[in-house]
Structure 1
């Protein structure tokens, strides 16, 4: 199902009228070639041209349409008319390179295989003349020669007078490449699992998939049989699950295109590389994409996520969504590295936009919490939310599988994973603080969990964006009470090195009954240092929060209740620093954070 959907995507994109979106024809691929060697018709080198341009802090080479690359193994395998400097030029920065001669010979032999179809082409003959007697002196004078050898960068060739047109792109050479591929594709016939069982030559090896975060830099495979234990009925490698060469090219080309670093059809969250596409042109392909909604915004447009959410709200407003838009189906695929293979974390096959859009909006409703500071994001990305729950706020410390499970929960409208709640609560207790991003995570987890219950408790559903005075949940009220005790201490003692939050937050959120009696005594001592008006205000507030005696508070809070405690603490603390109207005499006045 996954490969079939990707093959269908290739068929649509290969005929796209937009050249920038059009996928290459079978046997070809778009490849970044940083360096191009310009040749005269007699095969002598003119210059080594640098195709790179500055993009931010990096220099990125130009992209060219070249013959599809071969699968590189530990042996020698050359690409056709383009390859690394070691293959294409027989040159290396290494002092010892025992395979260099073999690599150069393999590259030359592959080019010579085109002679039966393009023996009269001046460009191919110029390249063969250069490869048979390479004269590198003009190239070695180039300022970037050493850099090219050091990085073993990709190199291709062009004929003098054909600027911007590689030799492999010359019409006669390109036709020869297609003819050579056809002559070499006569593999074993087998019923293709993608193309409805058509008897076609099966692909023995599938092109590697690149761009999955954490996978091997050389690429990994979705379909792979590389050990005898995986084989059946005497079949080897790809013949165990026969996919035609045509279909294998289609699905790998489409997936590699979706996984490009600059693709708007991918979003990276933790170790889950998620790609998505629609079965027809859609608003997602224009004003916003799933990457804008859930991904980390780029520095040059930090408000992209917020604007995308607003656009999504406009799209699904009642009566404003055309039927064609709502019936557009979206395919969403989550991938993660697994040694030399790629594992599928989740797969949503053809979800109508009318179902997907409300699920996305529900996610943003779930994480909506009053912000501490104006510069905090209104619609934080999943990456930021996850790193807020990781040790030292580092992406490398995000628990494995957590990102993929959260993404799947959003897209399928499921409860959030228990591991997410545990990570958020533990970070709050370890750092004695409930940050804005952790409050977003806690609120989202609690509300989704409540909605998933067969009989949700409507009196506590859902937790609100700001302080909820009507919420009678014991754990939530304990959090509010703890924030009040902290506030009283702050006004009584000012800026001190160690507050009750630093000493008691973890214990108060776990065993409140054991802690709050002591905190109550401290409260009375602190109230004596305040003005009468402020002391009366806080006494009234404490009475409103807790009508029961301190000894009747919960003795132990479960993990979800600890999340309620943290959310109550956050809401009450934020309320203290929210500007009040002049007529509001029952609430605290802003004192600064």
Structure 2
């Protein structure tokens, strides 16, 4: 299903490379004349921010690199193309290793030349290909002249030290040599000398693809790429079949799905987001508005446009009213795929399929469930990144619990309860840091409300703001704890630590062990307040205690979450009242 959906997307995207080609970032192009003399080295890079970004070119599909020598047709790194190596690299090698490396360079360069010579004889009539061969294979005088021109070029030292990808262009042409019609005609022909099979994805007769192109761009995977379909050990084989024969996929399908996925995962793609350790891509069967706005809904907004996510979510809520979900558009299938590294392979973290209308509805539910009171300076909507780092140690993305992002996304797009591990992580982080902030409170509210909808217990759902009618013991005791802390703060403004810093963990899990002492301590604090504030707090505590017969010996995980929400709601209510009083004055 995943490969088939990717193939359909490839067919839809007419601008993607066709069979036999791929898109590659190439920083330097060697420009030569028809005689094979070097004209110049062209720098294709442009400055974006503080980085130099190489231009993307359509080139022949690259070989799957291994520890051995494997070269690409008419493009590769400087070691293959020019037998080039920086002096610093050689200086760090021993004499023996240096000799071996020089031999390997010669072997790599020879392989690059032989790859070109292996093309059909009809291609040799092409002026561009003849020029490349003249540049690479020439007499001593010709070669010496080209070497002299290379070393005189200001980019030569950078090429030696960085070993960049290079290719060729004939002087006066706009296209590369590898893009010339004679070369394209050869590469676009499908080989027929390999076994024909019935493709397990398309069901059509096709040429068997033994090794699939590597997928690049998955965060944490090998920089050279990894595979979704891979059989590289005997333990993975069956019935004596080897490698790709265990899951026979045709050459056309293998090229289509790998090209589409590499395009979606590329740095320039607007159809990818990073969710924890899961590199997430998304697309629809045909173009829809959701394809354009999906990343804005979940990703962290850019610094130069902090309101971008808010605008996208507001548009999401308005979509049904303005007719954005017409019958045809709403019925279009939409796909969300989460990928994570797994040694030399890529594992599927989650795969969600639904119509555009279903996705719109489920995303709206997600943001409605997260809605909770917060300070005016805080964002109205939280990105997935902000929610997940709120559960991580030290607020660092690398400390987000493994698999949590994938489980979270799966719950959002399936409309199911959020994972129990998400609630556990949020409650645990609050107890460890003794801070109930906006993202954690929003997460806990969303988790508890979704659980309540799917649970037979008929537990009351948590509201956006303070709920005086909620008599749940955890919620009530959380409110009481916030009131006791507020009394302490007002009576002793210079305190460095409040009861929250000392007793939150015990109060939220085993209330009976601490509340007796806290209730006694509050009398001492109340005595320091002016009469009006004292009466206000006594009345509030009386209301809260009216529904608390006795402090529980233990609160369940869900009630620990309600304790945190009760505490948060009550603190927000104190802030709102004090703010309105200040404005009134």
Greater helix proportion: 2
CA distance in 2, matches of 1:262, 1:411: 25
Relative distance call for 1:110 and 1:473 in structure 2 (3 A) is: same
State the match for 2:122 in structure 1: 117
Task: Give CA deviations for 1:348-373 in whole Å, capped at 9, x if unaligned.
Answer: 23x11221111100000111122235
CA distance in 2, matches of 1:116, 1:302: 59
State the match for 1:265 in structure 2: 271
Give the aligned length. 566
Deviation at 1:590, TM superposition (A): 8.5
TM-score when normalising by structure 2: 0.93
State the match for 1:564 in structure 2: 562
CA distance in 2, matches of 1:386, 1:480: 26
State the match for 1:55 in structure 2: 48
Deviation at 1:407, TM superposition (A): 0.3
Counting only pairs closer than 5 Å after superposition, residues 203-218 of structure 1 correspond to structure 2 as 203-218=209-224
CA distance in 1, matches of 2:542, 2:449: 27
* 2:143 pairs with 1:132: no
Please, which of 166, 173, 193 is the counterpart of residue 183 of structure 2? 173
Counting only pairs closer than 5 Å after superposition, residues 82-481 of structure 1 correspond to structure 2 as 82-93=75-86, 94-95=89-90, 96=98, 97-98=101-102, 99-114=104-119, 116-133=121-138, 134=143, 135-162=146-173, 164-179=174-189, 182=190, 184-196=191-203, 198-286=204-292, 288=293, 290-317=294-321, 321-349=325-353, 351-374=354-377, 376-454=378-456, 456-457=458-459, 460-461=460-461, 463-481=462-480
TM-score when normalising by structure 1: 0.92
Conserved? CA contact 1:577–1:589, under 8 Å: no
Deviation at 1:410, TM superposition (A): 0.2
SS in 2 for 1:77: coil
Deviation at 1:579, TM superposition (A): 4.6
CA distance in 1, matches of 2:522, 2:285: 63
CA distance in 2, matches of 1:353, 1:347: 15
Conserved? CA contact 2:282–2:291, under 8 Å: no
Task: Give CA deviations for 1:107-153 in whole Å, capped at 9, x if unaligned.
Answer: 11111223513212221111111112453332333333333333321
State the match for 2:571 in structure 1: 573
State the match for 2:93 in structure 1: none
Relative distance call for 1:117 and 1:546 in structure 2 (3 A) is: farther
SS in 1 for 2:84: coil
State the match for 2:94 in structure 1: none
Task: Give CA deviations for 1:324-363 in whole Å, capped at 9, x if unaligned.
Answer: 12111112212111111111122223x1122111110000
State the match for 1:79 in structure 2: 72
Relative distance call for 1:302 and 1:143 in structure 2 (3 A) is: farther
CA distance in 2, matches of 1:209, 1:152: 22
Stretches of structure 2 lacking an aligned partner (at least 5 in a row):
91-97
SS in 2 for 1:316: helix
Task: Give CA deviations for 1:527-559 in whole Å, capped at 9, x if unaligned.
Answer: 11110001111111111222156x712221111
Conserved? CA contact 2:471–2:547, under 8 Å: no
* 2:32 pairs with 1:39: yes
**What is the Cα-based RMSD across aligned positions, in Å?**
1.9
SS in 2 for 1:513: helix
CA distance in 1, matches of 2:22, 2:560: 53
Relative distance call for 1:185 and 1:153 in structure 2 (3 A) is: farther
Conserved? CA contact 2:208–2:250, under 8 Å: yes
CA distance in 2, matches of 1:145, 1:581: 66
Stretches of structure 1 lacking an aligned partner (at least 5 in a row):
15-21, 583-587
Conserved? CA contact 2:290–2:356, under 8 Å: no
State the match for 1:511 in structure 2: 510
SS in 1 for 2:346: strand
CA distance in 1, matches of 2:158, 2:192: 37
Task: Give CA deviations for 1:405-445 in whole Å, capped at 9, x if unaligned.
Answer: 00000000111111111111111011111111111111111
